[in-house]
Amino acid sequence: MKNWKAIGSSRFAVVGALLLVGMLWGSSFPLVAVAAPTLGAVGTTHGRFIVAALVLALITASSRSTWRAVGHRFPAFLLLAALNVAGPLTLVATAIVGLNSSTASILNATTPMFTVFVAAFWLRQKITWRKLSGVAIGIVGVSVLVGGIPSAIDSRAMLAIGASLTAALLYAVGGVYARKSFQDTPPLTLALGQQLAAVALLVPVSAVAPPPGPITVGPLIAVVALGLGATAGGYLVYFWIIRQAGPVAASAVTLLVPISASAIGVLWLNEPVTFALVGGLVIILAGVGLLLDLPPTRDPLRRVAPDRAASADKRPVSG
């Protein structure tokens, strides 16, 4: 069991998972920009949770153990949902309406900075110069990629910036809470419990914050895409990263999010491939590499060595 965990938590597997989640969550920013003006920040967020919960419920319909686990710990899932999705995603949608998707993604990239300090306080993880350098380099890369925050900022924009930074802090606390309280919970159970709890939390909020405009087909399609990809799929992979590599490494995904937004612009909107795009990509990946604190990939021919050594010492192998 330990050997398979070592293989699964290799640097290549985690980096690949980070890239996947970065793509899914990056695509969510333009989708929110399409849906939120019509459905509102709360309606967009609640809608994506409903879609994600339905998808995950169908996937786990035959798994009684999964549903029992969710029911047994539902109060804890309510707290997780408030910190990790319901609160921050509603704030992010509010920020996108007040700013734009690029600026909101820049501010979202401050999550690793918050996570480093939250993990140090809550999990007693050491703050190293490598992690601090990774956060700083990553934020510089994001700024290079999307051009930085606009210089002209009014009161509405300031409120949106505050919402984005608060969301980043909630993401940090939520990621650490997931690692501390759901260490042995399978990612599918964690994703299902979180989405069901998020749907329940936003029912009373949606009742007092109805959609501001008439509902049309375009925003509904955007919400369905958000629920399927960024929410259901994205959080399944995200919880796997937290379980394998920890909350600081998982928070590094927020540095990759603007890459997806830029790729959408290049591939779908025929935007040019600029020096800022290429340079930002290189800088961001360098920052992510510094944030990852993972064991090196092991030689397949030597995988059995730890088990033999443990057997010789008459000590059980953890895992």
Give the mean pLDDT of 74-96.
Answer: 92
pLDDT reported for residue 313: 41
Q: How confident is the model at residue 244 (pLDDT cuts 50, 70, 90)?
A: confident
Tokens of 58: 């169908």
Instruction: Give the burial class of 151: count Cβ atoms within 10 A of its Cβ; 0-12 exposed, 13-18 middle, 19 or more buried.
Output: exposed
Least confident of 96-100, 135-139, 150-154, 285-289: 150-154
Start-end of H helices in the chain: 2-8, 11-59, 64-72, 74-81, 87-98, 101-108, 111-122, 129-146, 155-181, 187-208, 217-225, 234-245, 247-251, 257-268, 275-291, 305-312
Per-residue model confidence as pLDDT tens digits over 53-71: 999 999 999 899 999 999 9
Residue 137 has pLDDT above 50, yes or no: yes
CB crowding 155-169: b at 16 or more within 10 Å, else e: eebeebbebbbbbbb
Least confident of 1-5, 43-47, 155-159, 297-301: 297-301
Give the mean pLDDT of 196-210.
Answer: 93
Q: What is the mean pLDDT of the chain?
A: 79
The single-letter DSSP state of residue 274 is -
Identify the CA nearest to 157 among candidates 88, 90, 89, 100.
100
Identify the CA nearest to 135 among candidates 152, 158, 115, 112.
112
Rounded distance between C-alpha atoms, residue 143 and residue 277, angstroms: 10
% of the chain residues with pLDDT over 70: 81
Rounded distance between C-alpha atoms, residue 181 and residue 193, angstroms: 13
* Stated pTM of the model: 0.75
pLDDT reported for residue 147: 64
Q: How confident is the model at residue 206 (pLDDT cuts 50, 70, 90)?
A: very high
Q: Does residue 123 contact residue 179 with C-beta atoms inside 8 Å? A: yes
Least confident of 48-57, 125-134, 287-296: 287-296
Residue 25 has pLDDT above 80, yes or no: yes
pLDDT reported for residue 307: 41
